[in-house]
Structure 1
Amino acid sequence: MPVFISYRHMDRAYAMAINNRLIGANIKTYLDVLDLESQTTDDITGVITRNITECTHLLAVVSEKTALSWWVPFEIGEATISNRRICSFRTGPAELPLYLDKWPKLSTESDLDFFIDAYREEVSNKRSMSLESISESVKGSYKRDADMFHEQLKNRIRRGF
């Protein structure tokens, strides 16, 4: 159940810090800068799409620089199509695009801890899985589980505990 970390390369330091935090919590991640294939391929779109499909969660690092990126919105769109658990992590005072309001918005270390807790709960309840070989009926329940993940995490962030 890896977490795909989406970011603009100008925000690489934030993405690496989040990656290290998740790895420290024993959560497998995908970060393109650490993937030799993504550095050497002529089909980066195919590599990104495949890796999003193989992940269960997408965490988008968002800053004022993200508005100029085509990749981050593309990756969020791919994750949306696959009913991935999606969150954004705001790196500064920038206003987030309205389309991100649908999903939990993280901005602090505590919020990241809430994400880690929610991720672990999904693992223990086996609600999150790769979509490579599941039937259409299971995909419907997977979407409901994803919606529940988003709503519960948003509520926890709002409460602050």
Structure 2
Amino acid sequence: MPVFISYRHMDRAHAIHINTRLMQANIRTYLDVLDPESQTTEDITGVITRNISECTHLLAVVSERTAQSWWVPFEIGEATITHRRICSFKTGPTELPLYLDKWPKLSSDRDIEFFIDAYRNEVTHKRSMSLESIHGSESARSYNRSNADHFHADLKARVLRGF
């Protein structure tokens, strides 16, 4: 159940901090370190799509600089299509686009700990996403959507409560 960390390269320090914490919690991650200047759009798109398909969660680092990025919204869209567990991590006082209200919005190290707990809880209760839930029967896809909704609702409530 790897976590895809989406970010604009200007926000790399925040992404690396989150990646480090998740790895310390024994959670596998994918942190894109491609240099977009040396890749074609087709190459980048293929790498992103493949890596999101191999992850179960997407955590998007968002800041005022994200508004100028085409890639972060693309990655969120890719994750949405396949019902990945999606969260945003807001850096600074920026206003987030309303479409991100659908998923948990994290903004502190405490919230990252809540994410880690929710991730582990999903594994413990066997609500983890599987490849069959993407490519399998309609009932498997429906079950995955339901589990994703459960993950999002629980984590949103916990972040809102603050404990």
- The residue that corresponds to 1:50 in the other structure is 50
Check the 8 A contact 1:55/1:130 in 2, yes or no.
Answer: no
**Structure 1 SS opposite 2:111:** helix
**Residues in 2 aligned to 1:148 and 1:27: alpha-carbon distance in whole angstroms:** 20
- The residue that corresponds to 2:121 in the other structure is 121
Structure 1: 5+ residue runs without aligned partners?
none
- The residue that corresponds to 1:137 in the other structure is 139
- The residue that corresponds to 1:8 in the other structure is 8
2:31 is aligned with what amino acid?
L
Percentage of pairs with the same residue: 72
**Residues in 2 aligned to 1:66 and 1:133: alpha-carbon distance in whole angstroms:** 31
1:140 is aligned with what amino acid?
S
- The residue that corresponds to 1:102 in the other structure is 102
**Deviating runs (4+, > 3 A) in structure 1?**
39-42
Check the 8 A contact 1:54/1:130 in 2, yes or no.
Answer: no
- 1:40, distance to aligned residue in structure 2 (A): 6.2
1:65 is aligned with what amino acid?
R
- The residue that corresponds to 2:154 in the other structure is 152
User: Over aligned residue pairs, what C-alpha RMSD do you find?
Assistant: 1.6
- 1:135, distance to aligned residue in structure 2 (A): 2.2
Write the deviation string for residues 83-130 of structure 1: whole angstroms up to 9, x where unpaired. 000000001110111110000000011111000000001111221223
The number of aligned residues is: 158
What's the TM-score once normalised by structure 2's chain length?
Answer: 0.92
**Residues in 1 aligned to 2:151 and 2:91: alpha-carbon distance in whole angstroms:** 22
**Residues in 2 aligned to 1:113 and 1:97: alpha-carbon distance in whole angstroms:** 24
**Residues in 1 aligned to 2:45 and 2:124: alpha-carbon distance in whole angstroms:** 32
